[in-house]
Amino acid sequence: MDRTAAQLRIQELHREINRHNYLYYVEDRPEIADAEYDLLLRELQQLEREFPDLVTADSPTQRVGAAPLEKFNQVTHRLPMLSLENAFNEGEMRDFDERIKRYLGLPMAKEIEYVCEPKMDGLAVELIYEEGSLTFGSTRGDGYVGEDVTQNLKTVKSIPLRLHCSTPPSLVEVRGEVYLGLAPFQKLNMEREEAGLPPLPTHATLPQVLCASWTRGSPPGGPSPSSVMPRV
């Protein structure tokens, strides 16, 4: 196969593998067996070995087997990543409502309709996509300066290395939470028990600590965080 044909086939394999990753890890409705998926990935790996100059940063091969980094550079966010505030009683909720009305220039008698949803509490991250490709990932840090964890976030398989659209915007910034689902948490405890270790307690902050640990340097023997829940 010449270089031109290899480039076309590599691009085709990128699209096909990314599509199957999305179906499997995001929509939970795989269309092919694992063995078929492995053949596609193996074909791509072989072509990239033969034509190393055709390897791109968003290739599916750049995710598989990527070792998490343990040391990080600091990065300044383009816009601050602000944290959420708590409201513990009716008075604090009314204060919040009044602040919103003042900010929007609405009369205090105006009724506002709110939408509430559970918050996935994990590790806040920011993903930067340029021309559709994931180029940068960072932690929230202090809201202004975070840590560059791009390589580690590439191990979270529900994060697309390339956006699933034909004409992506030149720049997209996505903010969300890396969180540990119930199934991988239970799997982790099963592995610990099989190794003769005590199971981890299920208190509220533990999954958040685990996600921070995996994102900033994966502990041995544990599953990767299961997903990213957008908070936009």
77-100 residues labelled b (16+ CB within 10 A) or e (exposed): beeebeeeeeeeeeeeeeeebeee
Residues carrying an active site annotation = 119
CB atoms within 10 A of CB 185: 19
Angle at the Cα of 102 from the Cα atoms of 99 and 105, rounded to 5 degrees:
150
Instruction: Give the sign of the dihedral formed by CA 77, CA 68, CA 57, CA 132.
Output: negative
Residue found by looking up tokens 């290739």 in the block: 59
d(CA 83, CA 230): 14
Separation in Å, CA 45 to CA 13, 41, 56, 97: 10, 6, 12, 55
